[in-house]
Amino acid sequence: MFIIKKILALMVCAVLITLPNICAAGIFDYPTVAVIPFHKKAAVSADLSLSDEDIVSEIVNKELTNSGRFDIVDRAYLQETLDEQYLSMTGSIDHATAAQIGQLLGAQYIVVGSITGLSSKKKSNVGGGTYTVIAHVYARMIEVETGRVVLAGSGDGISKNRVHKAPFRLIKIGSDEVDQEQVHEALKQAATNLVKDMLNAMNNRQR
């Protein structure tokens, strides 16, 4: 009997020792993450199409995968699942919706974000002018089980171009018309910087 009690006591001690690590399991333990397609919000050009917005989600997906910290849900599978369930995701997701998405995709976390700013500046000079496109994106990582925001970040991107590059279509930003390729470059930079911002926040929390 004494030996049994001693064994039980050791088992209880082992559980108590490992419990903090179990409770701390989360974004630092290679979780499965789904990146929901980004949407445009605020003062963003109405000329942006879904294909333009999808550039941001694609880069965020790639950068999070390359970080080696997350298991990212395949984009094609994610879109197919959302389409099948008739889920139109926006930047406003509550606990119930996050849980629903996570269960459908087998994800522990979801990343929800938006293009919050897209502006242009034109500097005229001899022989023409230079267009500067500035993009701003924002995102947050939501824990599916609790609906809690565990990470948030933002990123800016800047792209300069002297001339329009046919055959890319033009996107009107304010009173300026800039080529689609230039807009994409600004959005890609913003998305890359967004992920850097989120990973920096993770690193700071680990210290």
- Residue indicated by tokens 């920096």: 200
Give the start-to-end residue ranges of the domains of the chain.
28-206
Distance between CA atoms of 137 and 147, rounded to whole angstroms?
A: 21
Q: Does 130 score more than 70 pLDDT? A: yes
28-206 under CATH 3.40.50.10610, yes or no: yes
Higher pLDDT, 53 or 136: 136
Q: What is the pLDDT of residues 7-36, one digit of tens each?
A: 334 343 433 333 333 333 488 899 999 999
Q: Does 158 score more than 80 pLDDT? A: yes
Residues forming a β-bridge with 40: 115
Q: Is residue 140 a contact partner of residue 129, using CB atoms and an 8 Å limit?
A: no
**Non-local CB neighbours of 183 within 8 Å, separated by 6+ positions:** 45, 48, 52, 118, 133, 135, 159, 171, 173
At 39, the pLDDT band (50, 70, 90 cuts) reads confident
Q: What is the pLDDT of residues 85-125, one digit of tens each?
A: 766 555 456 677 788 888 889 999 999 999 999 999 888 76
Provide Rg for the chain, Cα atoms.
22
Residue 9 CA: distances (Å) to CA of 13, 18, 80, 147, 161: 6, 14, 51, 36, 70
Residue 82 CA: distances (Å) to CA of 34, 104, 169, 183: 11, 9, 29, 27
